[in-house]
Amino acid sequence: LELNVRIATPTPQDLAAGCTKMGGTMTDVMTSMAAGEKVTQAFGDNITQDLKNRPGSPLSVADSTTQLLVLAEWVLLSERTQAFETFLATELGKEAPGKSVAVPLEKSQNVIRY
């Protein structure tokens, strides 16, 4: 069984709130190292690690720069992905306790294939 999921794209209001939570504005530009620190402080290490491992994310390339708006979009998509995967594990896990119920095969920005 294959499941393709498209995570809802954050609204402009969501993006503005994400930028504010990270202590900046949409137009701020920073290094990937500074961006990683902001994400960890505002959203936690799980989101930071996910973004470091996800191809194409602003944190996947060392020694680069990113705009806070772009970073906020990636952070919010990662948060939504983790919430969805928690839901899958909780709901489908009832049928198969202790077993993996959905394995992500591919993740690219807001599209995930299980």
What are 25-38's pLDDT values in tens digits? 999 999 999 999 99
Q: Who contacts 26 (Cβ-Cβ below 8 Å, separation ≥6)?
A: 15, 16, 19, 67, 68, 69, 72
Q: Give the whole-angstrom CA distance, residue 62 versus residue 49.
A: 13
Q: Give the whole-angstrom CA distance, residue 93 versus residue 19.
A: 35
Sign for the CA dihedral angle at 8, 12, 17, 21 comes to positive
Q: Can you read off the two tokens belonging to residue 55?
A: 């191809």
Burial of 74 (0-12, 13-18, 19+ CB in 10 A): buried
Q: Name residue 98's amino acid.
A: G
pLDDT of residue 96: 82
Q: Can you read off the two tokens belonging to residue 27?
A: 């137009």
What are 67-111's pLDDT values in tens digits? 999 999 999 999 999 999 999 999 988 888 888 888 989 887 789
Residue 13 has pLDDT above 90, yes or no: yes
Q: Which residue has the tokens 């993006």?
A: 15
